[in-house]
Structure formats: C-alpha cells, structure tokens
Amino acid sequence: MAKSKTQQIIDDISTQIETGRLKAGDRLPSTAELRTQYGVSITVVRNAVQWLKAKGLVEGLSGVGVFVTEPGNRSND
C-alpha cells in the first residue's frame, strides 16, 4: 500500500533529523518551499509539520519559522 503524501514528508524529514542532516536549531524550509519540493498542497505540508510538532521533533516560532528541537525535548511515542 502506498504511503500518503503527508506520511512521505513526515518520513523524509524525520529521517533527515535522525541521520543528522537536519540538526537541532536548523530551520525547516518554509511552507511554500516544502509545497514546491514535494509537489503537494499547503494542507499536506501543514498536516506533516503539525505531526512533527506533536512528536516534539520540531517547534514553531511565530513569524520566524519551524526549527528542529534538541533530542532531549522529543517525545518517544
């Protein structure tokens, strides 16, 4: 069964964090950049980022961007 587009983004960004390609403090690309990169709607990007936030992998700073969190701040669920 094929993965949803949302899940593909979640998996890709999660892997980048786990492998160290994205490090604590790194800023994720903007919503517009992620839309272009993955060829998806804004809703798909927002859902993926929301999931990553819920798991504690990233945090959003209003008006600034979304950043990778420190490993100790992440949920293990």
Q: The CATH number of the domain where 33 resides is what?
A: 1.10.10.10
The confidence score (pLDDT) of residue 74 equals: 63
- Domain count for the chain, please give it: 1
Give the mean pLDDT of the chain: 93
- The CA distance from 12 to 8, in Å, is 6
Residue 10: domain span: 5-16+23-73
**Over the stretch 40-71, which tens digit does the pLDDT of each residue have?**
999 999 999 999 999 999 999 999 999 999 98
Residue 65 DSSP one-character state: E
The confidence score (pLDDT) of residue 48 equals: 98
The confidence score (pLDDT) of residue 44 equals: 98
**Percent of the chain surpassing pLDDT 70:** 91
Burial of 73 (0-12, 13-18, 19+ CB in 10 A): exposed
**Percent of the chain surpassing pLDDT 90:** 87
Distances (CA, A) of 64 to 18, 20, 39, 69: 23, 22, 23, 15
